[in-house]
Amino acid sequence: MALPELMVHGDRILHNVREVVRRCGAAGVDLWGVTKGLCGNPQVGRLFLEGGCTALADSRVRNLRGLREAGIRAPLYLIRIPMEQELEELVEVADGALVSMGETLEALEELCRSRGRTFRAVVMVDVGDLREGVLPEELESLGRRCAALRHVVVEGLGTNLGCFGGILATPENLTELLQGAERFREASGLEAPLVSGGATLSLKLLEEGTLPRGINHLRVGEALLLGTDSTGMRTIPYLNQETMEIRAQVVELRRKPSVPRGTVGVDAFGAVPSFEDRGNRRRAILALGKQDVRLEGLTPLESGVEILGGSSDHLVCDVEEVPALQLGDVLSFRPNYGAMLAAATSPYLDLRVL
Ligand SMILES: *Cc1c(COP(=O)(O)O)cnc(C)c1O
């Protein structure tokens, strides 16, 4: 076992997937499992599919390639608006993508025509969060443009919420999406049956029974991986939150004053640290740092451990209340979404799925 590591409890993630799939199924909602939080880990992708997700989605073509090369045959979608230079690789490894520009749809059409294949697209509509998506008033003109597509199949429309503007999913903004989808269908003459009402954030409406009828699709990552809804600021009551932990080793254990001695400057990240004088305290230094994880996003799992701060490669904890702790011991921390993402991305952490 190499340390530090990100340890993932596969059975708990599978439980979360099944719970979300069951609730979605009862409402006629199809679910894509979003793997980007763990960098497209194929073992986790398989769990998503085993639990009932109908496709996998990721924000990076490289992660989609990894899923494909691991032997996953299910449909794969890119959920970040694609870059021009990655379109060729995209049509090679993926089955579809979220798209918001007519030019991109046409470039995909041309690529697919010359390769004699088809590619699926979900047109993104901005209903207020101001990240990706065409504005509702552009849907007629885009619809007319889409009528000419032969190799790109517009499967439907979708929206993204809670990301740039922090806008919550509501019956109102999702109804606006449904109306937009109707206008797009009329203008394009396409069926475009799928209406994708967002991500983890939209589960709240599903639970409350206020998800507008006609929303038949969601793209969910965080709820499956962590059982939480960061934007909605809640833990999801029917899901497991103990799905993963970051484990790091104690490399120094020593009693030291709680306030540094000398003239204070600025740390390497531009912050001026401040300290409370609690006298001499027992402190542990762990081999884990800002290069590996967002330290602010960690919650210690052993009681009595308190995070004091850290730097690029070191995490300093107060362990006065953990007298049994010894040099070489391993401490565990629960990551939030940001800490999970950083840990999964760091080449210095091993990702281990149990
Ligand atoms: C990340 C992302 C998702 C999944 O979001 P979660 O909050 O993790 O469920 C869905 N759609 C798009 C476009 C995304 O970028």
Residue 270 shares a structural domain with residue 138: no
**Residue 46, token pair as written in the block:** 């398989």
Give the H or E element holding residue 184: helix 171-188
Three-point CA angle 173, 177, 178, nearest 5°: 115
In this structure, the answer to whether residues 18 and 91 fall within a common structural domain is yes
**Among candidate residues 235, 269, 294, the one where a domain is terminated:** 235
For the chain, the domain total comes to 2
Task: For the chain, 354 residues long, give each residue's pLDDT as a single digit of tens.
Answer: 699 999 999 999 999 999 999 999 999 999 999 999 999 999 999 999 999 999 999 999 999 999 999 999 999 999 999 999 999 999 999 999 999 999 999 999 999 999 999 999 999 999 998 999 999 999 999 999 999 999 999 999 999 998 888 889 999 999 999 999 999 999 999 999 999 999 999 999 999 999 999 999 999 999 999 999 999 999 999 999 999 999 999 999 999 999 988 888 777 777 787 888 999 999 999 999 999 999 999 999 999 999 999 999 999 999 999 999 999 999 999 999 999 999 999 999 999 999
48 Cα–ligand 1 center, Å: 15
CATH number for the domain that contains residue 272: 2.40.37.10
Note whether 219 and 119 are same-domain residues. Answer: yes
CA distance 178 to 287: 50
**Domain-ending residue, one of 235, 260, 279:** 235
Same domain (yes/no): 179, 35: yes
Residue 229 alpha carbon, nearest atom of ligand 1: 7
Rounded to 5°, angle at Cα 60 from 150 and 216: 60
Show the domain range for 257. Answer: 244-353
Domain boundary among 174, 209, 235: 235
Instruction: Enumerate long-range contacts of 77-81, CB under 8 Å, 24 or more apart.
Output: 77/32, 77/120, 77/122, 79/34, 79/36, 79/219, 81/124, 81/132
Nearest partner of 53 among 28, 25, 32, judged by Cα? 32
Q: Is residue 256 flagged as an active site residue?
A: no
Answer yes or no: is 1 within a domain: no
Distance 220 CA to ligand 1 centre (A): 6
Q: Does residue 117 sit in the same domain as residue 223?
A: yes
In a domain, 163, yes or no: yes
Q: Are 317 and 305 in contact (CB under 8 A)?
A: yes
Please enumerate in sequence order all residues whose Cβ is within 8 A of that of 200, keeping only pairs 6 or more positions apart, or say none.
Answer: 220, 221, 222, 223, 228, 229, 230, 231, 232
* Ligand 1 mutation pick, 160, 202, 225, 243, max ligand atoms within 8 A of CB: 160
Shared domain check, 215 and 95: yes
Query: CA torsion, points 316, 320, 322, 326, in degrees to nearest 10?
Result: 60
User: Could you tell me if residue 182 is inside a domain?
Assistant: yes
Statement to judge: residues 271 and 169 lie in one domain: no
Residues 262 and 218 in one domain: no
Residue 169 inside a domain? The answer is yes
Residue 314 maps to a domain: yes
From the CA of 128, how far away is ligand 1's center (Å)? 16
- Chain centroid to Cα 297, Å, comes to 15
pTM: 0.95
**Is 196's C-beta closer than 6 angstroms to any atom of ligand 1?**
no
Binding site membership of 79 for ligand 1 (Cβ less than 6 Å):
yes
180 and 86 within one domain:
yes
Q: Are residues 117 and 206 in the same domain?
A: yes
Q: Determine whether 323 is exposed, middle or buried from the number of CB atoms within 10 Å of its CB (0-12, 13-18, 19+).
A: exposed
